[in-house]
Structures are given as C-alpha cells and as structure tokens.
Structure 1
Amino acid sequence: MLERLGRCIFRRRWAVVIAWLCIFAGASIFAPRVTQVLKPGGYSIGKSESVVAYNDLHRAYGYRDLTFSVVFTGPPGARAKIHSDAVAFRCRASARFGAALAVTPPVWSPDGVVAIERVYSNPRDDFGAGFAGPLRAMLPHGSVRGALTGPSAIFHDMETISGEDLRRVEIVTLPIAAIVLLLIFGSVVASGTPVLMAPVTVTLALAAVYFVGHRVDMSIFVLNTASMLGLGVAIDYSLFMVHRFRQELELGRDVETAVAHTVATSGRAILVSAMVVTVGFYALTLSGVQMLRSLGIGGSIVTAVSLLVALTLMPAVLAFLGPRINLLPVVPRRLSTRRLWRKHSLWVMQRPIPIIGVVATIILVLGLPAFHLRVGIPGPQTLPASVDSRYGNDLLDRHLGYANQSPVLVVVKRDAGTPPSSYQSAAFTLLDRVCSSKEVAGIAPVPVPDSPGQIRSCQDLLTASQNVLSRQGAQARAFARGHHVYLLPVFLRTDPSSAEAERYVRMLRREPPIKGYTILIGGQTAGQMDFDSFLYSRFPWVIFFVIVTIFVVLLVAFRSLLLPLKAVVMNIFSVLAAYGVVVFAFQDAHMARLLGFTPVGNIDSIVPVFLFCVLFGISTDYEVFLLTRVQEQYLITGDNEESVATGLEFTGRIITSAALVMIVVFGAFSFASLAVIQEIGLGLAVAVLVDATLIRALLVPAVMRLLGRWNWWLPIRGFPPIRRRPAKTATATSRSPAAE
C-alpha cells in the first residue's frame, strides 16, 4: 500500500506540492495567533482541598484574585515624585478599566523606599494577563520606575518570552542542523531538504493547535514543546527519507521506483515510529492534569504532521529533485563509515560482559542524583532576573520579606446547626494548632499584606485570645453570627515551595477535626501538594500504559519476547540518565551559571512525567530502525552476530546522525529563558545522547550477543524459520539499502 502511495505521489507531484503550498500559506495566517488560545496555570486539580477552600472563600466574600502588584521606585530623595507617579497611575488605570479592576491606593514599604499598589480583578480565563500590556504603558519610565508584577504579569511575560525563545532557537538551530546534515549527506541539496521540512511542520502544527485551543484548554508551554519536538522529529523523519532515496538511486533505479521504494521501506519504519511516539504523547492525556493533557495533544499533533509531511510532501519534493538531490557536493561520498561501524560492533560482541558492566556503571552514576529528585510548581524564579515581573517581585521580596510570600490559607467553615457562640473556643484551638510550628512567622488579617507590620506574631495573638475584652468578645460573636466561613492567612518563614512548608501543611491536615467546624487548607503550598499528589498517584498507571503498549507493539513487529523486554529496560536506562542529569543541573544547581537560571531546589512537577512519556517514544523510535535491519538479516542468514553487525553497519551512521540533529534542537532549548523549558530541553538532549551512544552503540549489541538465538524466540511459535540463501545472494542483500 505504501509503495502504491509513493507511485501515486510521484505521478501527481505537482498537485501535491501546490496543495502543500496552499496549506502552508493558510497555516502561516493562524500559527502566529496561537498564543491567543493558550492559557496559564494548569497546576490545580478541580476537586482538591485547596481549590475547594478557594471556592468557599469566593462564594462567602466575593474573594477577588490579586492580579497585579505595582512597585514604584526611584533615586534617594524622590519620595514625593514616586508618590505622585503612583497616584497618577492609579487614576489612569481606574479611568480606563473602571470596575473591571480595583486598584488600591499606594502604600510605602516599611523602609520607605518603594511604593506599592495592588490590582484586583474578578476571576478570568486569562488570569487577567490581557491587562498587562495596557497597564505597563501607563507606568513611569523616567527617574521613577514602575514595575508590574504579580501572577498575571508573570504569565504575560512567560507568554512573551516563549515566543522570543522560539524565534531565537529557530534562528540558531536550523543553520546548525543544516551544517550537521551537510556533513552527513555531503550535498547542499540533500542536507537542505530535511531542514526545509521543519518550518513547514512547525507552522502547520501551531496552526492546528490554534484551532484545537478553541475547543480544549491548551497550556502556554505547548508553544515551545510543540516547536521543539516539531523541529527535531520533522528533520529526523525527512533525514531517513532522503537517506533511503539516495540509496535507491545508487542501485540504478529510476526516480519513480526510487520514490516508491523509499515510501514503502523508510515510510513504513516512520509510520511505526510515529505510532510508538504517539503512544507516549497519548499517555500524557491519561494523567488527568490539564497541562500535561494539552502537552500530549500538542505532541500528538506534531507527530501526526511530521508523519504527513514525510509521507506526502517529502516524496513529492524527492520526485522533483531526482538525481539532483546530490547537487552541490561538499564532502566526498566515498568517505563511508560502514566499515567502522561493523568493526565496532564485532569488537563489542567479543567482550559483552565487560561492556555491559562499564555502560551500566556509567548510567548508574549519571542517574544517581535522580534518587533525591524533588518536584514543585514554578514561581517567578522561572523567569530571568531582567524581566519586568521578576524584577518587581524581587523588589517586593527585598522590601517586604516574608510578607510578599504566598501564605497558607486556613479556611474555617462553621457547619449547619453549630451555634456561633462556639466560635471563640474553636478559634483558640485552631490558633494553638496553627502556631505550633517554629516555621510560622505570624498571621495577617488579609492574605496580601502591604507590610510585615500587618503580620502579628503567634505569641501576640495567643495572648490576645486569652485576654479578650468584653467589647472585643461581643464584636467577635457578632462577626461569627454574620458569617459561616472564616480565613486565617498564615505566613511562614520559609519559601512556600520548600519541604518545610509542605511538612507544615501536612501537619495541619493531619490534625483531628474540631467539632462543628470543617477546616480546609489552601494557598500555594497546599495547591502544589494537591497537584503533585494527584499527578503522581496516576503516574504509575501512565508508566504501566506506556510500557505495556510499547511492549505489545514491538512484540507484534518483531515476533520476539526478549527484544521488547530488552527495549523497555534500555529505555528505562535512558530515562534514568536524563532524570539524574536534570536533577544535577537544576535542582542541585550545578549548571545555574552556565544555563543562566535561578535555582529553586526542585524540578517542575510536570517534567519527570513529560520526559518519561516522550523519551520512551523517541528511544523506541531508534530501536525500531535498528532492529528492523537486524531482523531482516537474521531471517536470511540465521547468524545472530552477523545480523547484529550488519544492522549496525547499515543503520549506525544514520541513527547517530538523526540523534545528533535531535541533540542540537533539544540542546538549544536548554538555553531558553524559562526554567521549565530548559529542564525539558536538557533532559531530552541527554537522553538522546545516551541512547545513541551508550545504549544503541554499546549495550544493545552486547546484550544481543549474550542472548544469541533467544533474541528471536516467541512462545508457542518458538524460533522463526530461516530463509537461508546462498552466500553470494546473502552478501548482495546485506549490501542493499537498509530498511530504515
């Protein structure tokens, strides 16, 4: 069927190319608009305790979101100018947005250096990020500077930086990928053709995400992850097609037959590969987390578009080029590495046990840091320090201290039938619990204080609760009669994402209930814990789905029991190495200066799950290309060692080349501006590097040498029948193009 598709595309190549040009032109209109449908957040779980606490507060008090904090600063002696500019900003913002935004009057930090205004809004789908641009235009930029920070400003800046990173990475990676391909193919035309497929794929994929985003919530991180994968996968698939097409021409076949055989052989391998990679992306949708689901959808779209480009547009382009694919030679084609790969594989198979021991030791050393991996949800520190919202948040941290941190929100609900008179004793009991930890700095009357002075220490509050005057007691009882939901914003001395903060929340949640009251714990720390608990309670099922599905696909493809098991173990090695290097670089901060990020002591919660699913697909992708050729030779000769050597001889160079392109693309994203994208980029690059060198070049031939003919055993069927051919025929077949 695929061969017929290739011949059909050859005969209708003009129509295919014109159709793709029209599709590309249409996609170019919608792809730049993709950020309009991408959403922030995605780190909350709908029915979790922290979300229920927030919803109860919203229903009881019309609780509004803190959308922005505005920080005004200037030179010494400019206090009057700072105040007047802050008042002018408030007037302009109120006049333009009216009731949509509530801007508080300016207040001074305790040291009198900066003035602060808070901007509140009702909950919005975009978290109020749409206000960021107009508000920034109203800020002073002279001797007095205004900085817009807060959740919505941070998201707005993440969106802007994601687009800038994407453009910068494309400008850098495409020329580098072209140079790599030039060294691989030795011809300007042959190397340039796969590179041209990358922007087509990414543009069409982002346009598709734009339309899907109108129906399904899609995370802002889809922009970079989809582009990252689109660049790598599109070039890889096109590389395999060009490589096989040139081999077909070398055998003296006419262009139509060469195109047809290329689609039938490399096209089949790419189809199987795309199915395997899609399994990994589909597994992300099973996580139950909106952000990962959207990344899974985005990755599936990218893979489908890459497959479509490789099986339709690329054959049409090859049909037009024909022998001209070898035009503008730069590197002599006689410089072949096949003999080197063959010698290498035979050398490895002569000493399998030492090779396995050395490789396993290296992977274990790389993976050791993964055993103290700690996850968390990113905050302002995910942005570069020079970005406006990060700069403003750093100012607030400097001048407000822990008063700028997100508090633990203790929400108290009085149950129906509980008399208001019990409020005072319940409050005392709860206060005693809340203040039982040395991590507590104090409690404020509001969740967003403007000064540390608004945060009262636990000792003061406990003393006050024991010495309540009659008038104060009457006021408390009157408040209790008028409300059934109460809030205690508890401020800690430690960062909300720290292990100490999580232990504190866990301690509060373990406390026995107070009769007649329901206690809910919310806030950033509790929300992070609820998200991580939900995600990682489902992660084992995601792992199970990925492993079982890929095992079954390989079992059917290669009719072997041990080869799929071996592939699963090898993939786990690659994932372990990636986890270890990411923890070493980011959590342990050993690459903070090199990559230019601010260490926060954890890894983004989504990164381990995302890396596992994507890497299992990509690693299996290379396994398919290698084992297809090994199996083809084994069924001819029945000689296991000869088959492995021949497989590496014909696929080692192209798999390593494809991996090198992937490493260039993924590695470029490790120098992005957003920490989460850096983590994903570095993890993918390291895993592909380990897979293409330690795993495919060393561990696979060593293990297959030890397993011998049992590589090809299948229960019930036993060993496959060998279609033995005369030596001359077998040799000729071994020198035919690999089924890549």
Structure 2
Amino acid sequence: MMTTLLAGLGGWCARHGKAVLALWVLAAVGLTAATVLLGTPTSNNVSIPDTDAQRAHDLMRDGFGPGYDPGGTVQIVLYAEDGPLTDEPRREAVEEAVDAIAELPHVVEVQDPYRIGGIASSLRIGLITVRLQGHDSSKQAETTEKLSQAAEPVRRAGIEAVPADSSTPADKEIKTGPSEIIGVVCALLVLLFAFGTLVAAMIPIFTALVSIAVGLGVIGLLGHVVDVPKQASIMATMIGLGVGIDYALFLLSRHRKLLAAGVPVHEAVRRTVAGSGGAVVFAGGTVMIALSALMLAGFPLLRTLGWITGISVVFAVLTAITLVPAQLGLLGHRVNALRLPLVGPRTRGEHAASGWASLGRWVSARPWRVLAGTVVVLGALAAPALALDLGSLDDGYADEGTPARRAYELMATGFGPGFNGPLVVVGALDRPVADTTPADPLVQVLQQRVAQVDGVAHVATPKLNEAGTAVLIQAIPEYAPSDDRAAEVVRAVRTIELPGVDVHVGGEVAGLTDAADRISERTPLVIGVVVLLSAFLLLLAFRAPVVAIKAAVMNLVSLGAAFGALALVFSLGLGSRLVGMDPPPSASASYVEVLFFSVPIDGYVPVMLFAVLFGLSMDYEVFLLTSVRQAYLRHGDNRRAVAEGLGSTGRVITSAALIMVAVFVAFIAYPDPLVKVFGVGLAVAIAVDATIIRGFLVPATMALLGRLNWWCPRWLDRLIPPLSVAEHAEDDDDQAPPERARELVATP
C-alpha cells in the first residue's frame, strides 16, 4: 500500500535527518558546480518533421551549404543619420568593416551593402550579410556579438551598426532577472503570515531552492547529450519554485497540526508523509502527466520542453517526501521557534473557526443558486477567449532599445515590414539546369510565378545549387512576420504548380505557420490524453469515478478563465502596456494605439499553457478532495464533509495559491514575451481555481451529487489497486473502519 511505503520513508528520513539533508545539499552543490565547470549547452530544435518548411530546409542545407541554414546567416544593419552610405568616407569605413568580418573564423561569405537589394532607396540604411559555416549554432548570440564587434570601423565613422541574426524568437536566449528573488521574497512573506514563525516559514523556501538547484543542474548537464531548449531553465524555475514551496507547505501544515494535537515528533512526521505525502505524489503525478502529453503535439520543441520541465516537478515531489521530513525530524518542536507577533493562525484545532468552513456550509445550503451564479461568472471570465489572437511573435515586440528591436525597426523602415520575415522558396528540379545568364526558362517561369502571388512585394535573383538540381528564390512579403496575412502568402506560394519543379517554402514565417497547423491538428489529442490520464490518476487516488471525471472537467473551466485573461491583456491589448510590452513600430500612430495594442500569441503557447495549467490546477483539487473524503469516511454526511474539508484546507491552500500567484506575477517582469504570457495565464488560472472554483463550484456540485460523489461499483473497486490517499486509518483516530468505509461508497 502506498501510504505504508510513504509512512516508512517519512519515518526513516526523520530518524536519519542529517544524512538526508547532507545528501540533498551535496547533490545541489555538486550539480551546480558541474554546470559551472562544464557549461549548460542549449539548442532549440525547431525542426518539424514531415512539413513543407522542413523539406525546404533540408533542400537548402543539402543543396546550398550550411551558410544558407537558419542560424547560418547574420546581418549587420547599418544606419547613417547624417548622410548616405554611398559617401566616400562612409563607404571606406563599411569596406574596412567587411574586410575585418571576413577574417573571422567560420565566415565563408560577406556581402557588402553596395549590391542589389543591399541598400535602401534612402541610401541611409544598408545590410552587411554574413554567411557562416562550421560554427556552433548553440552559441548564436556569442557569434553574432563577435561579428558586431568586427564592425567597429563603421561606428567610428558615425554609422549605427546593429546585429540581426536569423534565429526565430524561440531561439532568443531568456536572460535571468530579479523575478526569482521577488518570487521567493513574496513567498516568504505569505509563509510568515500563514505559520507565524520564521523557522517554519523557511522550511518550504529552503526545500524549494534545493529542489530547483538539483533540477537545474540535471537539466543543464542533459544539454550535453540532448537538445535542451533555452526556455527550459526558466520554465523549470517558474514551475519548480511554485510547486516546490506548495508541496512542502502542505506537509508542514499537517505536521504542525499533529504536533499541536500532542503526537510525538517522529510519529507526526510518519503520519504526515503517509497522508499529505500521498496527496503530494498524486498531485505531482498529474503535473507530470500533463507535461508528458506534450510529446503528442508533433512539435519537437514542445516535446522536449515538456519532459525537461517535468524534471523540476519530479525533484519537487522527491524533496517534499524526503528532505521535508528530514528537516522536521531534526527540528522537532523547534519548528515553531522564532514566533512573530500578530501573524500566524490564532488557533490550532483541527477544525478551527474558518471562513472557508462557513462558506462551505453556506454553499451547501443553496447549491443550485451558487452553481448558476458561478457558471455565469466563469462564463463572463472565459468569454474574451473567443478573441484570442494566435500568430507569430516577431522582434517588433521586443523591448525598445534592444538590438533585436532596433534591427527590426531599421529593416522595416528601409526595406518594408516583410523584409524581417523573408520566404525562402526552394524548387527541386526534375532535371539539372545550367547556371546561365539569362537564367534557364524553367527558373525564369518559377521566379515570375512567385512574384505574381498576392502579397509578395519583391523577389530576389534565383540561385542554383552546384548540381543544378535545386533553385533558391528569396521572396519578400508585404507583411510583417507577425501579420496573419504573411502566413496566407506562404500558403499561396505553396499552391504553385509548375511541371518539372517541386516547390517548397521555408523560412521563419513558413516554419511558424507549419508549427501552428501541426499543433492545431494535435491539440484535441493532447487535451484528450491529459484529461483521461488525469481522471484515471484521480480514480486511483480516491476510488470514485464521478469525482475523478468531475475534477478533470472543473480544471477545464479554470482554463477558460485563464485564456480569457490572455485575450484581454494581449489580444485586445487592455493590459499589454501594464505587463511591460512595448508597442511595435506600427502601433505608434496615436495615443490610443500606443496605450492599447494587441500582441499575437504564438500558436504553440495555448497547448503548452493548457498542459501546465491543468497539472497545477489539479494540485489543489487533490488536496481538497483528500480532506473532504477523509471527513466523509468519518461520519458519512456529504454536505458536512464538504464544509469540513473546505475549512480544514482553506488556510493552507489559500496560502499555497497566494505563493503560486506571487511567483508567476513576479515572472511577468521578464523581458521575454513568452514568459509574460505564461506569467499572466498561470497567475489568473491559479487565482480563479483557488477562489471561485474551490470556494463555490466544487462545494456546490459536491452538495448536489451527494453520496454519488464517492460511489464506486464493486467490480471497479476490486480492479483498482490499493493506492487511495484518503483511506488510511492511521492518519485520523476517528477514521471509519474498513467495513463502514466500503458501505459508504458501495451504493450511490
């Protein structure tokens, strides 16, 4: 039985606290040191197998060399404010910079601005295009910086030089900031108010920090053997910090309650890990299941990001059921030391007077009215989700003043908005074609057909590979990469049918378009798997099919509110400025547009956000239902059990939710738009789940269902292994005997 195993583990850790503590600290220090010495390689695998963009990329790589790979091209954008770049002094400075860049390692070709398509009509904006070969693509930022430094001669001549690499927004490195510190400080303040003692408040903080250190160390070292996305560390920190503190908080709260009831220290630890530890294991399991389901999204970046982020959850669970009991065993009754005045719980009784318990009784007395009102409120919160704008997020939404944003603005000004997202049209030829002037008629016709597509502003001169079996044409759309119409141009070019040519379209816009299409196809599968597996896990935890299905559906409701908030803030632009987003160049026409501007949300974000949110929201459901079921098995009164369960978990779950919300809100300060989207979505979903869902919707539905909540057919009860987290008599002295418990759940 799982509770027996956890009880034994908790008791052992409490008796051998020093050894357990030393092992975890050594693991954290050792792994951190290893990542410092060996580095933490990252590489976003943005390939999408069996898509047109991937076929174009493969043809480009095999036929034209690595210099034409995404990431193999870097551009230095030049801007001369005082005069044209063609003036002799400026031209000499540009040529000197070109010569310096050409001498750098891995540079195979450098094109100066004085070529067709290399300089704007104003003659003040130009491009130095650098093609690389044999470089480390995982160190794109460092390579770009070296190229930029080599362009110093133009800066001495009064010319602005801004680097712009060809990586996608997903490739941009997310730099660390103060958000982790802010999140930890906010969590500490909540814990101080929840427990009233400094020692107790520090236990969840210390546990979470050790968990994150170990998790990030493992993730960093994994980068040497697998492709680890750049977002993995920040996602692991965000999720790991939240769940790590929460899981330790739940165990600590139960332990202090048992100590207050006079239970000896080691016995209290054993009971705590057997009861609340089991709930932690199941709650963590739901998060990992949800993240693992991203493997079905058909997008390698999401698949890898999902299971690697799950590593932080694994260590959060492991530290909760081992490191927390070790600390509790070492501290004994000193867990309540350093008490702070005027904060902390006023009473320690198991069912102390609680506003949540009163709310539970009030809701249980009028379930239909509460249910109707809650549905209306949640519907209103979710309604804006219909306006959710999915698209691609380009560098036009980067922070003002950053090189990426400045380069984007200069290129859009000089060459048009579509220049920031060129389409790479690759035609596979049925027969070899000679590279002649004028070009082969087949190549000329293909160039003309591409130029005739609506939305194509410019078509560059075709380039043949050495074998003459493939032709590459760069097409500049009229629209910015984040504009939905750019994706329509991609689809239109792909409809070109020309005998003797197999047309494929690659590039950033094409890749993001294919990613969005693939994820749209797979989203129903991901949602279905997450819901079914989570419901199955809840069935194992509570042996109640109705509760398991209802809990999974409830989580979908809170997700609707989260997506509604995202639509309000980003798609409708009512809070884009508040979360630190800067308006793109096109949004500067009026005061209203600058204050309220829409921001597209990358197509892969909703499905990933769904997986993360579904798992996190299930945490509170598990802890609440555990308490309600234990109360029900004591006396068999469903409505009373709902009120008691809500009252006994109200303070701890509210504290846990406040911590989680504080952590996620703190991460909104990150400059990366993806992190901002996750911060807003996660914070809103947890807030809604911990208040409206837990305080009104769950009690109302459980009151209406009555004994059906815990009904389980006898044949199903015999099939389910004995893993329930709520049916352990050792946790509560007045627990119903096994015969009475089976009677309570056998009939609806």
Matched, 1:207 2:217: yes
Q: Is the 8 A contact 1:578 1:686 kept in 2?
A: yes
Tell me how far apart the structure 1 counterparts of residues 465 and 231 of structure 2 sit (CA, whole Å).
44
Tell me how far apart the structure 1 counterparts of residues 80 and 491 of structure 2 sit (CA, whole Å).
42
Tell me how far apart the structure 2 counterparts of residues 83 and 26 of structure 1 sit (CA, whole Å).
54
Query: After superposition, what is the alpha-carbon deviation per residue over 1:539-563, rounded to whole angstroms, capped at 9, x for unaligned?
Result: 2221121111111111222122211
Per the alignment, residue 73 of structure 2 pairs with: 67
* Cα drift, residue 439 of structure 1: 2.0
Instruction: Give the direction of change, closer, same or farther, for the CA distance of 1:553–1:667 in structure 2 (3 Å limit).
Output: same
Query: After superposition, what is the alpha-carbon deviation per residue over 1:381-417, rounded to whole angstroms, capped at 9, x for unaligned?
Result: 3531221222222222222224623233333332249
* Cα drift, residue 199 of structure 1: 1.9
Tell me how far apart the structure 1 counterparts of residues 322 and 159 of structure 2 sit (CA, whole Å).
58
User: Matched residue of 2:82: which SS?
Assistant: coil
Per the alignment, residue 592 of structure 2 pairs with: none
Matched, 1:443 2:459: yes
Matched, 1:492 2:503: no
User: Matched residue of 2:138: which SS?
Assistant: coil
Instruction: Give the direction of change, closer, same or farther, for the CA distance of 1:33–1:169 in structure 2 (3 Å limit).
Output: farther
* Cα drift, residue 418 of structure 1: 10
Of residues 679, 682, 700 in structure 2, which corresponds to 1:681? 679
Per the alignment, residue 265 of structure 2 pairs with: 255
Per the alignment, residue 406 of structure 2 pairs with: 391
Tell me how far apart the structure 1 counterparts of residues 353 and 137 of structure 2 sit (CA, whole Å).
56
Matched, 1:118 2:125: no
Instruction: Give the direction of change, closer, same or farther, for the CA distance of 1:34–1:667 in structure 2 (3 Å limit).
Output: farther
Per the alignment, residue 528 of structure 1 pairs with: 512
Of residues 423, 445, 453 in structure 2, which corresponds to 1:408? 423
Tell me how far apart the structure 1 counterparts of residues 406 and 655 of structure 2 sit (CA, whole Å).
42
* 2:487 partner letter: E
Scaled by the length of structure 2, the TM-score of the pair is: 0.85
Per the alignment, residue 33 of structure 2 pairs with: 29
Superposed counterparts of 1:42-441, under 5 Å: 42-62=45-65, 64-65=68-69, 66-73=72-79, 75-76=81-82, 82-97=90-105, 99-107=106-114, 108-122=119-133, 124-126=136-138, 128-140=140-152, 143-152=158-167, 158-159=172-173, 162-165=174-177, 168-330=178-340, 331=343, 333-334=345-346, 338-402=353-417, 404-416=419-431, 430=446, 433-441=449-457
* Cα drift, residue 247 of structure 1: 0.8
Q: Is the 8 A contact 2:288 2:310 kept in 1?
A: yes
Query: After superposition, what is the alpha-carbon deviation per residue over 1:184-229, rounded to whole angstroms, capped at 9, x for unaligned?
Result: 1111111122112222111111110022222221110102101101
Q: Is the 8 A contact 1:150 1:393 kept in 2?
A: no
Of residues 549, 560, 574 in structure 1, which corresponds to 2:544? 560
Q: Is the 8 A contact 1:267 1:311 kept in 2?
A: yes
User: Matched residue of 1:248: which SS?
Assistant: helix
When the two structures are aligned, how many residues end up with a matched partner? 690
Tell me how far apart the structure 1 counterparts of residues 129 and 100 of structure 2 sit (CA, whole Å).
14
Instruction: Give the direction of change, closer, same or farther, for the CA distance of 1:419–1:180 in structure 2 (3 Å limit).
Output: closer
Q: Is the 8 A contact 2:84 2:122 kept in 1?
A: no
Instruction: Give the direction of change, closer, same or farther, for the CA distance of 1:616–1:338 in structure 2 (3 Å limit).
Output: farther
Q: Is the 8 A contact 2:569 2:576 kept in 1?
A: yes
Instruction: Give the direction of change, closer, same or farther, for the CA distance of 1:521–1:68 in structure 2 (3 Å limit).
Output: closer
Tell me how far apart the structure 2 counterparts of residues 567 and 413 of structure 1 sit (CA, whole Å).
52
User: Matched residue of 1:253: which SS?
Assistant: coil
* Cα drift, residue 427 of structure 1: 5.7
Q: Is the 8 A contact 1:341 1:652 kept in 2?
A: yes
Q: Is the 8 A contact 2:14 2:329 kept in 1?
A: yes
* Cα drift, residue 677 of structure 1: 1.0
Tell me how far apart the structure 1 counterparts of residues 418 and 611 of structure 2 sit (CA, whole Å).
39
Q: Is the 8 A contact 2:395 2:408 kept in 1?
A: yes
Tell me how far apart the structure 2 counterparts of residues 100 and 324 of structure 1 sit (CA, whole Å).
64
Q: Is the 8 A contact 1:413 1:517 kept in 2?
A: yes
* Cα drift, residue 136 of structure 1: 3.7
Tell me how far apart the structure 1 counterparts of residues 465 and 14 of structure 2 sit (CA, whole Å).
80
Superposed counterparts of 1:691-730, under 5 Å: 691-716=689-714
Tell me how far apart the structure 2 counterparts of residues 400 and 540 of structure 1 sit (CA, whole Å).
40
User: Matched residue of 2:502: which SS?
Assistant: strand
User: Matched residue of 2:474: which SS?
Assistant: strand
Per the alignment, residue 13 of structure 2 pairs with: 9
Query: After superposition, what is the alpha-carbon deviation per residue over 1:278-304, rounded to whole angstroms, capped at 9, x for unaligned?
Result: 111111123232211222122221011
* Cα drift, residue 419 of structure 1: 12
Query: After superposition, what is the alpha-carbon deviation per residue over 1:608-639, rounded to whole angstroms, capped at 9, x for unaligned?
Result: 11111111111111111011111111122111
Instruction: Give the direction of change, closer, same or farther, for the CA distance of 1:526–1:146 in structure 2 (3 Å limit).
Output: closer
* Cα drift, residue 730 of structure 1: 5.7
* 2:109 partner letter: A
Q: Is the 8 A contact 2:435 2:468 kept in 1?
A: no
* Cα drift, residue 75 of structure 1: 4.8
* Cα drift, residue 354 of structure 1: 2.1
Give RMSD over aligned pairs.
3.2
Q: Is the 8 A contact 1:405 1:496 kept in 2?
A: yes
Q: Is the 8 A contact 2:558 2:689 kept in 1?
A: yes
Per the alignment, residue 499 of structure 2 pairs with: 515
* 1:113 partner letter: R
Q: Is the 8 A contact 1:153 1:389 kept in 2?
A: no
Instruction: Give the direction of change, closer, same or farther, for the CA distance of 1:252–1:494 in structure 2 (3 Å limit).
Output: same
* Cα drift, residue 134 of structure 1: 2.5
Tell me how far apart the structure 2 counterparts of residues 635 and 492 of structure 1 sit (CA, whole Å).
66
In the alignment, structure 1 segments of 5+ residues that lack a partner are: 448-478, 734-740
Matched, 1:547 2:554: no
User: Matched residue of 1:132: which SS?
Assistant: helix
Identity of aligned residues (%): 32
Per the alignment, residue 575 of structure 2 pairs with: 591
Instruction: Give the direction of change, closer, same or farther, for the CA distance of 1:715–1:429 in structure 2 (3 Å limit).
Output: farther
Per the alignment, residue 465 of structure 1 pairs with: none
Tell me how far apart the structure 1 counterparts of residues 199 and 89 of structure 2 sit (CA, whole Å).
63
* Cα drift, residue 106 of structure 1: 4.0
Per the alignment, residue 743 of structure 2 pairs with: none
Tell me how far apart the structure 2 counterparts of residues 505 and 718 of structure 1 sit (CA, whole Å).
53
Instruction: Give the direction of change, closer, same or farther, for the CA distance of 1:417–1:446 in structure 2 (3 Å limit).
Output: closer
* 1:109 partner letter: A
Tell me how far apart the structure 2 counterparts of residues 719 and 407 of structure 1 sit (CA, whole Å).
60
Scaled by the length of structure 1, the TM-score of the pair is: 0.86
Tell me how far apart the structure 1 counterparts of residues 477 and 99 of structure 2 sit (CA, whole Å).
34
Instruction: Give the direction of change, closer, same or farther, for the CA distance of 1:497–1:332 in structure 2 (3 Å limit).
Output: closer
Instruction: Give the direction of change, closer, same or farther, for the CA distance of 1:154–1:357 in structure 2 (3 Å limit).
Output: closer
In the alignment, structure 2 segments of 5+ residues that lack a partner are: 583-596, 719-725, 738-748
Instruction: Give the direction of change, closer, same or farther, for the CA distance of 1:34–1:506 in structure 2 (3 Å limit).
Output: farther
Query: After superposition, what is the alpha-carbon deviation per residue over 1:430-477, rounded to whole angstroms, capped at 9, x for unaligned?
Result: 566545554222322269xxxxxxxxxxxxxxxxxxxxxxxxxxxxxx
Q: Is the 8 A contact 1:94 1:101 kept in 2?
A: yes
592-601 or 1-10: which moved more? 592-601
Instruction: Give the direction of change, closer, same or farther, for the CA distance of 1:446–1:250 in structure 2 (3 Å limit).
Output: farther
User: Matched residue of 2:175: which SS?
Assistant: helix
Instruction: Give the direction of change, closer, same or farther, for the CA distance of 1:34–1:51 in structure 2 (3 Å limit).
Output: farther
Q: Is the 8 A contact 2:84 2:123 kept in 1?
A: no
Tell me how far apart the structure 1 counterparts of residues 275 and 200 of structure 2 sit (CA, whole Å).
19
Instruction: Give the direction of change, closer, same or farther, for the CA distance of 1:47–1:5 in structure 2 (3 Å limit).
Output: same
* Cα drift, residue 732 of structure 1: 12
User: Matched residue of 1:45: which SS?
Assistant: coil
User: Matched residue of 1:103: which SS?
Assistant: strand
497-506 or 651-660: which moved more? 497-506
Superposed counterparts of 1:610-629, under 5 Å: 610-629=608-627
Tell me how far apart the structure 2 counterparts of residues 528 and 731 of structure 1 sit (CA, whole Å).
56
